Structure 1
Amino acid sequence: MVARMILQSLAWLGFMGVLLFGAAGTLAWPAAWWYLLELALLSLWLGLWLARHDPALLAERLAPIVQAQQSRWDRLFMAVIGTLWVGWMILMGFDAMRFRWSAPVPLWLAIVGAFCVMLCIVLCRSVFRANSYAAPVVKIQASRGHRVADSGPYRYVRHPMYADALLFFIGTPLLLGSWWGLAALPLMAYAFGWRAVREERVLAAQLDGYTDYMARVRYRFVPYLW
């Protein structure tokens, strides 16, 4: 499974590299190389941790993003968010390098961006530690004894992985030097908020105890905000 994880990660990173450098029109983009290297190292670290501590969850994370158990709306979400992701990568390549629409991002902000990306991945490990059912698709994993996760970050927000993703959507454009990429943050946040609401409907209807959990933990992404 580790070999499969490494191969899938390399394939995904290679695809991202094609999008970024293809849009940029050059390989001379140090920030993009650093970004891909950072993602490669962090993904390997997290994948090896999962392989050791929760191989069943790693198997779920490596499964196809379209599955028979998914609701139709979640399949639609995956198609839309995948399209948005591709467009986002291309936009940042155009903006930061090919056409240079944006003013330069200060070095200190690029460093903040790299830190945000790292923090996102590190915090995802706390999510995986608390929730062995954090599959990339919305489904009830009855065969694995699916139960409500209410420890770790789930004590504070109902969707900590989506909250962590916001750090990624902030850090990536800052590191790559694209203000236009950062401007896409509200759209990404709205998309994941839309999914979170519908995911909760599925969990409340099909997972014992989730309605009580929602009553205990009021906020979805950010405490005292939403």
Structure 2
Amino acid sequence: MLNPPKPAVHKTSPEFLEHVMWNGLFFGLVSLFTPQASLPDTAAMKVEIEQFAQVYTIDTQRIHVRESTMNNPSPFLTNSGIKACVLHVNQHADAKRVWSHFLDSGHEGAEPAFLAFTSAHELTHCLMSEKGKRVTAKQALQEHLGIQFKNNVHFEETLADLVGLAYVQKVMPEYFEVVYRRVKSIRTDFSNRDPEHDSSRALNTHTIAFADQMFSKTDTIRLADAGTR
């Protein structure tokens, strides 16, 4: 049985890696006057996980979803290790404001696509905690891009964005451009403040396709057509 999450978040934990992106949004753009958007419950996130597993190879038995109320602005946090990966849905008021701002793309009906992106982003962190996955994927992506990542944080955030976008392109292609522009804009705007999370230079169609083929199953179906969303 998994232990309950500790209130303190250490800088060496995967949870800390997720705080930074959302903190940038909170302190840069979100105020107490920002509306609070509803976050999915654990049942909805479990559906997202199962749908992601239809597209990409991932060990879903390692993944656990928890609804939390943590005093920080991160709507979603992952805490992963070799044995398990815990995905927290943070129902704190500030987290709901950050989620509201992220969804504010000006395109009605795009919320499921943003949830698909975010779920895939978080699940990529779970995927990277599977034995042997991080080293292999990092080497492959560095060779593809012709760069050396600053550290594992920079690598994982870049890969998570790429897989998230590739996933949206597969399951909700009609909203791909909306999500792509929103993610790239946010990553670019906060690149100076948060360089470890700056994936903007890698966010192009060729690299998204490369990330997709690293983990994609051969029998992928378009979930939107299957009526699962």
| TM-score > 0.5 by shorter chain | no
**TM-score normalized by the length of structure 2:** 0.34
Greater fraction strand:
2
Greater fraction helix:
1
Name the larger-Rg structure.
1
Higher RCO (CA 8 Å, separation ≥ 6 residues): 1
**TM-score normalized by the length of structure 1:** 0.35
